[in-house]
Structure 1
């Protein structure tokens, strides 16, 4: 099982995105501060500003969502999924790109966190 934590601006909005758009299920909610959603063997902790992960560090730095680190979700029909999500207004950081291992597209959750949708190549 893999676990990742994303900082999000709004936990309820993030839960809606991950469940309605990407097929996750809610495992646990911690009020408005945090929720855990799961998809297969992937646990994703959605931590809002009120969670411990959202608190300022000793240095004064404030954690924030976004960036280029990401979770990878393996999909069977990348082109179809991208088309459906784009039609629903989901933000993509670019077009589908292909390499020796397969094809990928990067979308964003409502807080700007990157999600890689990956379809393995025929040999992968």
Structure 2
């Protein structure tokens, strides 16, 4: 059995989410057993993509359904190259490039608005 750290993202459109993560961020489709759910993986990260009809989405209380500041954090080797590649694919950035003592980062969002942080550690 594979061991993953799993994160659930509630999405509006499961096929669009699959396409976003597999095409633009290098995730692999692990399963898509129903139109309401899929999971994609990258290394030890398993991202559970739950559409409106999935049990995960239905279990979310209305008062907890707003977007937060949480995001998955993906380490990249060359942030400038990733930014150029994603700009060419018309991906919209949700932040400016930010640099700090630990490295540089920028935020993008999946089609449902879930945040993804691309991070290049300082050398």
Mapping for residues 2-13 of structure 1, pairs under 5 Å: 2-13=5-16
Partner in structure 2 of residue 85 of structure 1: 86
Partner in structure 2 of residue 116 of structure 1: 117
Q: Distance in 2 between matches of 1:76 and 1:65?
A: 32
CA RMSD in angstroms, aligned pairs only: 1.7
Unaligned runs of 5+ in 2: none
Residues 1:39 and 1:102: Cα distance change in structure 2 (over 3 Å)? same
Q: Which runs of 4+ in 1 moved over 6 A?
A: none
Q: Secondary structure at the match of 1:19?
A: helix
Greater mean deviation of Cα atoms: 66-75 or 97-106 = 66-75
Partner in structure 2 of residue 34 of structure 1: 37
Shift of 1:116: 0.2
Unaligned runs of 5+ in 1: none
TM-score w.r.t. the length of structure 2 is 0.90
Shift of 1:115: 0.1
Q: Secondary structure at the match of 1:50?
A: coil
Partner in structure 1 of residue 52 of structure 2: 49
Total equivalences in the alignment: 120
Residues 43-94 of structure 1, C-alpha deviations (whole Å, 9 max, x = no match): 100000010111165xx61764743210000000111101110221111112
Q: Distance in 2 between matches of 1:65 and 1:113?
A: 11
Q: Secondary structure at the match of 1:76?
A: coil
Q: Which of the two has greater helix per residue?
A: 2
Partner in structure 2 of residue 22 of structure 1: 25
